[in-house]
Amino acid sequence: MPLSGFKFGKKKLKEEERHLQANNRDFNLEFEYANNSIKTSKYNFFTFLPLNLFEQFQRIANAYFLFLLILQLIPQVSSLSWFTTVVPLVLVLAVSGVKDAIDDFNRHRSDNHVNNRPVQVLINGRLKDDKWMNIQVGDIIKLENNNFVTADLLLLSSSEPHSLTYIETAELDGETNLKVKQALTVTAELGQNLQELTDFNGEVKCEAPNNKLDKFTGTLTLRGEKFALDNEKMLLRGCTIRNTEWCFGLVIYAGPDTKLMQNCGKTTFKRTSIDRLMNVLVLVIFVFLALMCFILAIGNGIWEHDKGFYFQVYLPWADGVNSAAYSGFLMFWSYVIILNTVVPISLYVSVEIIRLGNSFYIDWDRKMYYPLNDTPAQARTTTLNEELGQIKYIFSDKTGTLTQNIMAFNKCSINGKSYGDVYDVAGQRTEITEHTEKVDFSYNQLADPKFVFYDHSLVEAVKLDDAATHGFFRLLSLCHTVMPEEKKEGNLVYQAQSPDEGALVTAARNFGFVFRARTPETITVVEMGETKVYELLAILDFNNVRKRMSVIVRSPEGDLTLYCKGADTIVYELLDSSCGPLKEETMEHLNEFAGEGLRTLVVAYKDLQEDYFQEWHKRHHEASTALDGREEKLSELYEEIEKDLMLLGATAIEDKLQDGVPQTIETLTKAHIKIWVLTGDKQETAVNIGYSCNMLHDDMKDVFIIEGNTSEEVLDELRTARKKMNPDSFLDSDETIKFENPSTKSRILPEEQANGVYGLVINGHSLAYALEGNLELELVRTACMCKVVICCRVTPLQKAQVVELVKKYKKAVTLAIGDGANDVSMIKTAHIGVGISGQEGMQAVLSSDFSFAQFRYLQRLLLVHGRWSYIRMCKFLRYFFYKNFAFTLVHFWYGFFSGFSAQTVYDQWFITLYNLVYTSLPVLGMSLFDQDVDDRWSMQFPHLYEPGQQNLYFNKLEFVKCVLHGIYSSLILFFIPYGAMYDTVRSDGKAIADYQSFALMAQTCLLIVVSVQIGLDTAYWTAVNQFFIWGSLSVYFAIIFTMYSDGMYLIFTASFPFIGTARNTLNQPNVWLAIFLSIILCVLPVVGGRFLKAQLMPTVSDKVLRKIRAAKKWPPPPLPKTRLRRTSTRRSGYAFSHQHGFGALIMSGRNMRPKLPFTTTGTFSPNSEKNRHK
């Protein structure tokens, strides 16, 4: 027995091979495999407090305040009471803790919802209802149609012939087309016989859990025989059972070991770049604080040595102080406490309040509310708002994020005539709107009520028995691999291998050619009310090289016909020379369809001679049974018969984008945001969407396709692309490339500019090589020079690796957006994760930081809420640091005039209330309501977003400016009152030059100056801002006149020693003159500097704001509404399935139920009970 899975001591050995036995829990429990319970939460009841506190004390400031608290408990150095620190500290930790607890509670609730889903498990010969979380490796479970797959299962048997099972993998790879899985013959015999399933004791040996969605290797040993297992026999967690009544599966991997969970990534603690910068700045401030305290301590030691030693009778030293040096040492710590307000704890309380308030704006935004499914936008994480204003890279899923995942038959060209456009009475083409009259298909009882078409002329052509039109729709109803399902008579449901095929067959159905049923030998079509049974003789299946498929059928009249559909570039080469004029007309229509971003397909036919076909069919049978070179022989035969085709026309299918996607991408691109599409879809489909979304366009210099199959090929393709974009980038070898921060662990690549606009498309297998250590640098250098990058056929883990790569090498903020479980890993990896509540479940939303219903809301989230949040946070931090440096440094200057005795300048009550009451509300008002321009102008001028990407509004340089501004203001605020008070007398001749009067004057100057400063910083005035600023000043004067009154002194003599200071000082004109002078000297340089900078060195924002001011004076006339079209000579190819076609499966009959012969009444229901063999 292998040791894999066993624990050795306390450490679990890494699993190298999985060994399990069906229906034997005791055997499987020995290996201690994970059960099927999943956990995405970070905490539990017992770990919440220690883990959350550990995370919070990673903030240097929190650890610093804890240190301050300890200092304040030491009597010799304490100059302020301990509760002045402990109360705010506990408040900050509590607010953050509660918020984290709520977020994690939601994750617990989501986990519980999934873990408690019901499932039927086979125990002791009976099916028992149980919960997902109780399922264990080796259990046999039963799944029914439309059930989610519980765990990674080995398919044992199913209700379908040959134990086929149809699944949808949208949760895993974003694809909605059906895939088919098939059980081993030896297990298929078990059927749904519970006794035989209970007696099944097969042993499985397979690979250890991994994240490879498309690979599985293992063996099943049963009754001494070994059977090979591969991915075609596995049902993975995250899939959905479709078109299959029931199936049984053996659990191979459960819970965290499933491939879906292996691809999910870990929940990480996300912090914004401003948070990280603040940590650095707080360290700088600590050094600055220590330097100030050291200077003052040295000063105290010198002063006590030279002066204080001789005045001990008048100024006795404290108990235990016996030398000037020791006095200086104690004074160092006293000044640490006094000057700690350079980093007040209220900073972090205010930051949390601002973030919370700006999160509510997102939740309340009606313009981001989607009424169709009652989904508002939601800020699920409240700590990342300002990061939304700094996004440089967006990583987007395609299916369900950019597209609606709905294919619509939009237009077609038949025999040289284009259908699908609507014209008015004057013959002018009109735009299709919700008010445009739709075609009425009520005459067709089998029509799909959801199908919409607007061009009435096509219906008329069908009703007039136009031969070309009938031939066109007959082809669409016959040439496909769709499976019909008819539970009720007339209620047809098509199960298509690709959504395009479903759209084409549905179109034929509505125009009177209804594909009704199929067997391995026949296809039943109801043509204009008449049931016809065509004999299906061959399916020439699709593959990625042929890019076409054909069927050969014999009509009821005995005519042999080959029908073909495929990519126009391929089919045009196969057309008969007589089609010349029609080819040109159809080509014009194809170009027109491509210009609108539609996916095009050419259809053609060929009448066959009986004797030639019989001879060809004989050779086809020989080739299909050949042991050597089977694929090549079949391909040659297909090429031979698919010649001299007659062109019928072309189809144009719209892969419906979500509303506003092209406009959103265009706007975000103008904001210099680079968009990368990471999709599990195939290359052709993804590129088509790239053109439809206006990400890729013909004005680009080039679109590079990276599809190498070896490391060397991929490296060569990447270097060729980079050389074309920027030849200068090869002047330095890769070894000597200059990183921005070579000393740091993450080497930041400098920005490299391309010599034009380029796009890059890379396949999943090539990406696997490119993500290897020696190639990842080349990939990121090449890709980041491109305007658009599309990664196709990527796994969920590769999505996360691409995001991580950009985070590692680029100094940029990333955002990932998706709607399925396959997007969870990249959503967790990116700085910001956005979930779209779409058709693929809620996994992406539950893992996201922000969520909404439509991709188009992303531009409002970033350009409005993100930009506002970033500007508000930056203004807040600049002002906060300024006002606290101005406040604190007055103490520093005062130290030189007070014998370095750690005496405070201000009244202690003013120190307590300064950040808590007097200056808190005005700055919060600005930080919650300020906006340089309103939302309309923010969206209209995306360039306003650029300063956030470059982090211009708050960085180390801006911080230095704040410090210098604070130092300058503190000098004014100390020396002007000091000079005004020096040897000054009142108007009645009494002295005014006392400590209390000086303190009152200094603090009044300070408060008025910082209030004027916030007025200058406020760009958007509201009644709330006015109330907060004037209210704070009013409260200040009310408090000082109350606190310094005779009554308060008599009641609390020790607490309020400044008796009468307010009324005695503030009634003197020279005091107010000095206050006015302080304000002028503090504010004038700021106003002058801003004016000169705007005039002489205007920023991007200054230039845009001038345009906006001009536009407000002279509003432009409204632009006429135009349809967004792209002109292109490139056609969007037809999106066949990503896998090899179902042709061989259909012809073999393995997926067919045996049925009675068809009737000719047109009322046959293939799945009705009376026509099904018992």
Active site residues: 397
3-state secondary structure of 613: helix
- How many Å apart are CA 119 and CA 144, to the nearest integer? 10
Helix 346-364 and helix 83-115: axis angle, to 10°?
40
Beta bridge partners of 357: none
Beta bridge partners of 121: 128, 141
DSSP string, 926-984: HHHH--SS-HHHHHH-GGGGHHHHTT-SSSHHHHHHHHHHHHHHHHHHHHHHHHHHTT-
- How many Å apart are CA 825 and CA 201, to the nearest integer? 36
Question: Backbone phi, then psi, for 283, in 5-degree steps?
Answer: -60, -45
Q: Which residue has the tokens 């000095």?
A: 1074
For residues 1126 and 969, the answer to whether their CB atoms sit within 8 Å is no
- Does an H or E element contain 846, and which? helix 843-846
Closest CA to 968 of 1091, 1082, 1074, 884: 1082
Alpha helices in 608-704 (DSSP H): 610-624, 630-641, 661-670, 683-692
Pairing of strands 788-792, 674-678: parallel
For residues 520 and 535, the answer to whether their CB atoms sit within 8 Å is no
Alpha helices in 227-345 (DSSP H): 259-262, 273-306, 324-338
DSSP string, 706-734: E--SSHHHHHHHHHHHHHHH-GGGGSS-G
For residues 157 and 164, the answer to whether their CB atoms sit within 8 Å is no
| Residues, the chain | 1174
| Contacting residues for 1168 by C-beta, under 8 A, at least 6 apart | 486, 489
DSSP string, 380-414: S-SS-GGGGGGEEEEEE--TTTTEEEEEEEEEEEE
In this structure, the number of other CB atoms found within 10 A of the CB of residue 1004 comes to: 25
Beta bridge partners of 412: 419, 651
3-state secondary structure of 1096: helix
For residues 157 and 247, the answer to whether their CB atoms sit within 8 Å is yes
In this structure, the number of other CB atoms found within 10 A of the CB of residue 888 comes to: 23
- How many Å apart are CA 420 and CA 439, to the nearest integer? 11
Pairing of strands 813-818, 391-396: parallel
Question: What is residue 1145's DSSP assignment?
Answer: H
